[in-house]
Amino acid sequence: MRVTQKQPRAGPTILHADLDAFYASVEQLLDPALRGRPIAVGGSADGGVVLAASYEAKAFGVHGGMPGWRARRLCPAIRFVGGHFREYQRLADDVMTVLHDFTPAVERISIDEAFLDVSGATHLFGPPTAIAQALRQRVRTEVGLPISVGAARTKHLAKVASQVAKPDGLVVVEPDDEHEFLAPLPVALMWGVGPVAQQRLAERGIRTIGDLAATPSSALERLLGDAVGAKLSALAHNEDPRRIVTSARARSVGAQSALGRRMPEAELVRRVLTHLADRVATRLRAKERAGRTITVRVRYTGMRAVTRSTTLGAAISSTLSLTEVAERLAWQAIGDETGPTPEITLLGISVSNLEHQGVVQLELPFQPEDPHRPGSPTGSARWVVDRTVDAVREKFGRHAVGYAPVELARGAGVPDEFRELAEHDL
């Protein structure tokens, strides 16, 4: 029996709004002399990486994550500009405020990008296309930044549409046009297809999303793994069950620091890990959270990285405890190296398996002194030290007290303000 009544299909009520070349656009907004010119935020001709490139620079092949010297080689006229990190945060927040004027159903997925579900807003602001146009106009006039928007029935389609719309454009995919829209696009535009997957697909002659849709799910699962293959197959067929999630808490917190090339000397390792643990533990305590699993990452020359992790019986958030665990794990990793001790280029700490930890029960206040480390502070002493440091910083600023940051190689390391831009809500 055939179903004669056509199912009512939802319209393109999911919007994906994405600021164009965000950091670079802000710099061009702040300094009119930079407008229309190829610029890179971050990096320099002899060190560091480009954090963002203006469209004028992108035309030369420059992109975020690229070493500064390569950007200079591709585009000799490029100008490296220092970042106004505080302004990035402020302006991006202003944009999100504009988005919230249209609907509370906003899912911010990074500093410069968000999904909106406008299905409940059409009676106030008109159809999704009109909302998208109004939104772009308001961001342009009130904040001064170009923003691209994709509108479609699902998150995946909306995201692909906004990428196609860039720069400074709007693409609406009507439900009846979805297949026609997706089929000719390259697989790299899809969520979850990075360089490795792209390469593997290309080896099988799969280059477009249409090719992907024509490939059996089982074949994709063999090629890319069960989960990625199945998801990709579903997305290629326009099946995307994801809803807008307005608030999501982080599942892990971490900090890492590039070091240049350094021999892993005890003093260096201890100081870097102390600094990283301080950053991570402070964030945990500020949100009354703590974690049971501690992971340390050590990167060697040639980008080879190893991790060592341990899961504790109880969650921790004390700076000293985290430092001690991290130090043990780091030496475990370094000790596992065979042959001559290699130079290290990065150290990182991550804490996962997060739990709520209210101030009252914080840090096992009655934990006895560790018999293996006579003289080291007891649980209650750690608690007092941490709370005192937190309180002083709250009053006088982060650098009023605490652990001195480590001076690293030139070009390595970025300002704290930049790190904060990438932090997720704990």
Partner DNA sequence: TCTGGGGTCCTAGGACCC
Residues near DNA, by CB under 7 A = 46, 48-49, 51, 64-67, 69, 109-113, 159, 190-198, 225-228, 250-258, 260, 279, 283, 292-293, 301-303, 305-311, 345-346, 348, 350, 352-353, 411-414, 418-419, 422-424, 426
Contact 410, 47 (CB under 8 A): yes
CB of 160 vs DNA, minimal distance in Å: 10
Q: How near is the Cβ of 179 to DNA at its closest, in Å?
A: 21
- Whichever of 72 and 153 has its CB closer to DNA, that residue is 72
Measured from the CB atom, the residue of 17 and 98 that comes closer to DNA is 17
Q: What is the dihedral of CA 11, 97, 163, 38, to 10 degrees?
A: 160
User: Does residue 301 contact residue 261 with C-beta atoms inside 8 Å?
Assistant: yes
363 catalytic residue (yes or no): no
| CB-nearer residue toward DNA: 11 or 324 | 324
Contact assessment for residue 146 and residue 168, using Cβ atoms and an 8 Å cutoff: yes
Distance in Å, CB of 423 to DNA, minimum = 4
* Cβ at position 32, least distance to DNA in Å: 26
What's the residue count for the chain? 426
Q: How far is the CB of 255 from DNA (least distance, A)?
A: 4
Burial tier of 57 (Cβ tally within 10 Å: 0-12, 13-18, 19+): buried
Q: Which two tokens stand for residue 380?
A: 């209650």
Candidate list 113, 178, 343, 407, residue with the active-site label: 113
Q: What is the DSSP string of 129-191?
A: HHHHHHHHHHIIIII---EEEEEESSHHHHHHHHHHH-SS-EEE--GGGHHHHHTTSBGGGST
Question: What percent of the residues of the chain are helix, what percent strand, and what percent coil, each to the nearest 5?
Answer: 45, 20, 35
* CB closer to DNA, 103 vs 345: 345
Q: How far from 161 is each of 89, 152, 195, 277, 304, CA to CA, in Å? A: 25, 8, 21, 40, 36
Q: Nearer to DNA by C-beta: 11 or 348?
A: 348
The two tokens of residue 413 are 């390391």
Give the catalytic positions in this structure: 113
